[in-house]
Amino acid sequence: MLRRLRIFLAALCFTGICLMFIDVSGLLPPRLAFLAKAQLVPALLSGSFIIAASLAALTLLFGRIYCSTLCPLGVLQDMLSRLGGRNRFRFSPGKPGLRLGALLVFLLAFLTGASLLFSILEPYSAFGRIAVSLLAPVWQAGSNILGLASERAGSFAVGPTPVWQKGFSALAAAVATLGVIGALAVRSGRTWCNTFCPVGTALGFLHRFALLRPRVDYEKCMRCGRCAKGCKASCLDAKNKIMDSSRCVACFNCLSGCGRRAVSYAPSRRTGCAARGAAGPDLARRAFLMAVLGVASLPAAASAVNSPEKSLSRRKRTPRETPISPPGSSGLRNFTKLCTGCQLCVASCPNQVLSAVDYGSNALRPAMSFEHGFCRVNCVTCSTVCPTGAIRPITVERKGALQIGRAIADGERCLVATDKVECTACSRACPTGAAALLNGNDGLKWLAVDSERCIGCGACEYVCPVHPQAAIRVEGNLVHRMV
């Protein structure tokens, strides 16, 4: 029953998180955002220490339920491991040195501003990129096929959804992550969780002291090894009376696999099943202490990183000296401190203005660009779904007066200069009246941008008819301000 209950809860959480990233209606992401905010690292970054403490308490009571139920990357590994067959695992010695090294690299990457490495190792963000770059396009394409069939049948209930790749760096990272994790999962189950995942290492230490965890009654045990064959964490060796509690992910496969009920989920004891491997320094304890020190410094220790955004996208993304961070982020510097590049805001944006940066130190983090739409004043979706606090909740009224950037016109490329024709596209699209047309000496109307009224929404850049890049661009503000 415990195994079935765990699978049921894991399926619910995994389905809900997937729907946040792939929903074509745009309605579900804000409603399911609590699943993203319940992830450990986003909770710590956003300052939600009540959630973080609750997850720690949950682990101390029931073991690594988080890894087997709430973590989408962990559930994905369970799904992929089924491709290799069931009851095929065997005990393998732990690699505490490698686990400690991965945790230290993760913490140092954050503290030194190496956001790319930090984002790759953070489990929730890794899954988010897989969902946005690989799963969402397939889902959206299927929705469009269904919509086309529905339209031919005389029904217009399913509308079309734009399908485009929102960042080639995120796509490359998603393919590499899925390839590595998938290969490890098919071969040996939860190897990634118990070797490279920093969250798994930290929670693994807490699991050693969990009130409830699997234990073996060796008076009933026949040393048949069935429990070890079902252990996807490869942490159980009944023949030699070894159970590495720090690697157990509370999947309960060992309980269901034992025909003599020698394995139970009960208050732990320091004898029998709690036996450890070879004697030596407790590296798992050291890893946990390092995690505590790193976590305590997460909200305030990161340094801001500012670099130009570059892209080789075939969509001819406008080059900017300063990337544009979303409203509610307070500015680029604050945004880079907390964003892990999970791409949830990218997937949730109904206006198609967010995509992953492809190059530089900000790679994998979202930035605004206006090839597919512009940031509408009445939309605050990204601020409602961000789990780390990189984008704080903002009201529509405040957003309408918040300058996230300012438009800069290139008069030499404007149609008025090149074709000597009158173009009013930018001035008509501007919601604040910052793009004004002034009469010139040649009888034509020339664009003049009032930087004190411009809020950087990108409407002018989006509607500009000049190709391949618009004759007007928006430059981001390092610090957002009210106008």
pLDDT truncated to tens, each residue of the chain (483 aa)? 888 999 999 999 999 999 999 887 777 888 889 999 999 999 999 999 999 999 999 999 999 999 999 999 999 999 999 898 878 888 888 888 999 999 999 999 988 888 888 999 999 999 999 999 999 998 888 888 888 887 788 777 677 788 888 888 999 999 999 999 999 999 989 999 999 999 999 999 998 888 988 888 877 888 888 888 888 898 888 788 788 888 999 888 888 878 778 888 888 654 444 444 433 445 545 545 554 555 444 444 433 333 333 333 344 778 888 899 999 999 988 898 899 999 999 999 999 999 998 877 778 899 999 988 999 999 999 999 999 999 999 999 999 999 999 999 988 889 988 888 888 899 999 999 999 888 887 778 888 899 899 999 999 999 999 888 899 999 999 999 998
96-111 helix and 198-207 helix, angle to the nearest 10 degrees: 120
**Does the residue 141 lie in any domain?**
yes
**Does the residue 326 lie in any domain?**
no
Q: C-alpha distances in angstroms, 29 versus 357, 366, 387?
A: 22, 17, 11
In the chain, the number of structural domains is 2
Same domain, 163 and 213: yes
**Does the residue 319 lie in any domain?**
no
Q: Which domain holds residue 52?
A: 2-298
The answer to whether 192 and 180 are in contact (CB under 8 A) is: yes
**Does the residue 104 lie in any domain?**
yes
**Does the residue 312 lie in any domain?**
no
pTM above 0.95, yes or no: no
Same domain, 288 and 380: no
The residue type of 31 is R
CATH code, domain carrying 391? 3.30.70.20
Same domain, 204 and 86: yes
Same domain, 284 and 338: no
Same domain, 121 and 18: yes
Same domain, 402 and 258: no
**Does the residue 323 lie in any domain?**
no
Same domain, 234 and 91: yes
Same domain, 285 and 362: no
**Does the residue 288 lie in any domain?**
yes
Same domain, 98 and 201: yes
Same domain, 90 and 163: yes
Same domain, 228 and 336: no
Same domain, 168 and 260: yes
